[in-house]
C-alpha cells in the first residue's frame, strides 16, 4: 500500500505512522507512507500557503501551492487517487475503505482553516470523504483514521487475519462483545458459555449477539449487511413449477445459486406427474405438494416461510425488513418462488417479500438470482 499525505503538521503524522503495528509495517516495507510538508511549497518571504476567500469568510489554502505539492507527491507513480477530508465528503465506510485499498497510490490532502480552493477540488480531487457529521480543525485526524483502517487490510499488520474478517462492519454487521480475565469482576461474570470450551456453541453465541447488537444499535446497517453467516438455521428454496416455467436451464442456474449462497438441496413442487417424472433425476427434490416439505426439513415446527411476491400484497415486506425478520428468527428459512398464484397447504409462520416492478415476467432462475442477491448477497 502506497500513501502520501500533504500536511502542515508533518511531525504529527510522523509520530502516528511510527507507532504500533503501523510503524512495524512501515519498517518491514508492507506499507509505504510519505509525509509531505506543505509549508515547503509556500510562496514569498513568509512561505504563504493561504489567502482570503473571495466575497467573505476565512482563509483558504491556495490552488497554485496545492498543485505544486500534488505534482511532487505524484512522482514515481502512474496511477494516483487524490483524497480530501471534508465535511461535505462521502461518509467513510468499510466498503469505501476496501475500495480505496485497491488503489495503487493514495494521496491525502489535509486542509485547514475554511478549507481549500474549490477549483483545485474540482480539477484534481478524486474523492472527498468525511468521518462524521462534525467539523474538525484540519484534515489530519480524518487522514489518520483512514490510514489506520486501510492498514488493517494489509497482510501482516493485524496478527490474526481472522480478526479482520470478524471486525464490526467487515460483513456489514456489528461485532459481538468480548471478555477477558478475571472471570468475575465487580460482581459481573463472564457469560458461562464462553467458559465451557465448546467452540460450536461459542461461535453460535457470538453470531447471535452480533445480530442482536446490530438490530438494536444500528438497524440501518441491515440493508447492506452480509447476513448469510448469521442465519441460525438452514436455508431452503422451493419452486412452484409448471411445464412453461421449468426447463433444464433453470435447474442449472438454480444449482449455481445453491452453491454460491450455501442453500440446502432445493424442492420443486408440481402436481403434474409427468413433469415430476421427467425431472426426477435433476438432483432436486421433486414433490407433489407443499406439505411433503415438512418431512424433509430440520425442525419443521420452527420453519419460516418467505413467499416471493410479484406485486405488493397483504403481509408482504420490503427486502430490508425481511432480512431483519430472518435474523430475528431462530430456525430454518424456506423461500418460495413461482410464476403463478399459489397457496400453502401447511401452517407455518409466513410472510411475503416484494422485490421490484416487472418481476412477474422474469424466469424462475432470474427471480431466484435477484432474491438471493438482495437478501443473502455479499457486500
What's the length of the chain?
Answer: 379
Please provide residue 159's backbone torsions phi and psi, each rounded to the nearest 5 degrees: -55, -45
Residue 90 contacts residue 96 (beta carbons within 8 Å): yes
Q: DSSP secondary structure string, 230-274?
A: G-SS-EEEEEE--TTT--HHHHHHHHHHHHHHTPPPPEEE-S-HH
End-to-end Cα separation, the chain, in angstroms = 23
Helix axes 364-376, 319-328, angle to 10 degrees: 60
**Rounded CA separation 249/263 (Å):** 18
Angle at 157 between CA 155 and CA 159, to 5 degrees: 95
* Cell numbers found for residue 74: 505524484
**Rounded CA separation 330/333 (Å):** 9
Nearest to residue 3, comparing CAs of 113, 164, 64, 13? 13
Q: DSSP secondary structure string, 23-74?
A: HHHHHHTSSEEEEEEGGGG-BTTTTB-EEEPSSS--EEE-HHHHHHHHHHHH
DSSP tag of 138: B
Active site residues: 87, 114, 152, 167
Amino acid at each position: 500500500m502506497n500513501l502520501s499525505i500533504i500536511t502542515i503538521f508533518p511531525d504529527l503524522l510522523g509520530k502516528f505512522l511510527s507507532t504500533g503495528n503501523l510503524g512495524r509495517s512501515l519498517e518491514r516495507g508492507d506499507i509505504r507512507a510519505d509525509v509531505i510538508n506543505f509549508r515547503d511549497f509556500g510562496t514569498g518571504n513568509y512561505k504563504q500557503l493561504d489567502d482570503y476567500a473571495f466575497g467573505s469568510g476565512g482563509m483558504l489554502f491556495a490552488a497554485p501551492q496545492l498543485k505544486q505539492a500534488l505534482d511532487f507527491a505524484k512522482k514515481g507513480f502512474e496511477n494516483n487517487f487524490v483524497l480530501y477530508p471534508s465535511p461535505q465528503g462521502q461518509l467513510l465506510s468499510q466498503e469505501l475503505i476496501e475500495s480505496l485499498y485497491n488503489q495503487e497510490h493514495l494521496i491525502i490532502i489535509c486542509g485547514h482553516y475554511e478549507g481549500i480552493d474549490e477549483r483545485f477540488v474540482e480539477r484534481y480531487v478524486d474523492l472527498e470523504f468525511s468521518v462524521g457529521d462534525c467539523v474538525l480543525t484540519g484534515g489530519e485526524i480524518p487522514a489518520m483514521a483512514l490510514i489506520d483502517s486501510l492498514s488493517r487490510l494489509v497482510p501482516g499488520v493485524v496478527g490474526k487475519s481472522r480478526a479482520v474478517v470478524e471486525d464490526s462492519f467487515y460483513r456489514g454487521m456489528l461485532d459481538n462483545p468480548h471478555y477477558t480475565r478475571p472471570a468475575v469482576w465487580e460482581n459481573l461474570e463472564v457469560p458461562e458459555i464462553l467458559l465451557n470450551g465448546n467452540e460450536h456453541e461459542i461461535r453460535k453465541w457470538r453470531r447471535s449477539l452480533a445480530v442482536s447488537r446490530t438490530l438494536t444499535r444500528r438497524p440501518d446497517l441491515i440493508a447492506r449487511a452480509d447476513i448469510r453467516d448469521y442465519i441460525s438455521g438452514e436455508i431452503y428454496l422451493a419452486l412452484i413449477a409448471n411445464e412453461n416455467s421449468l426447463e433444464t436451464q433453470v435447474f442449472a442456474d438454480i444449482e449455481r445459486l445453491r452453491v454460491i449462497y450455501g442453500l440446502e438441496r432445493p424442492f420443486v413442487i408440481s402436481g403434474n406427474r409427468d413433469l415430476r417424472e421427467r425431472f426426477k433425476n435433476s438432483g432436486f427434490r421433486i414433490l407433489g405438494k407443499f406439505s411433503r416439505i415438512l418431512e424433509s426439513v430440520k425442525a419443521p415446527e420452527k420453519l419460516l416461510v418467505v413467499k416471493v411476491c410479484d406485486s405488493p400484497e397483504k403481509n408482504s415486506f420490503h427486502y430490508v425488513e425481511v432480512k431483519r425478520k430472518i435474523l430475528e428468527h431462530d430456525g430454518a428459512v424456506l423461500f418460495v418462488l413461482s410464476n403463478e398464484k399459489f397457496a400453502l397447504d401447511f401452517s407455518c409462520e409466513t410472510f411475503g417479500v416484494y422485490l421490484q416492478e416487472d418481476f412477474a415476467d422474469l424466469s424462475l432462475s432470474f427471480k431466484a438470482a435477484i432474491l438471493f442477491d438482495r437478501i443473502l448477497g455479499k457486500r
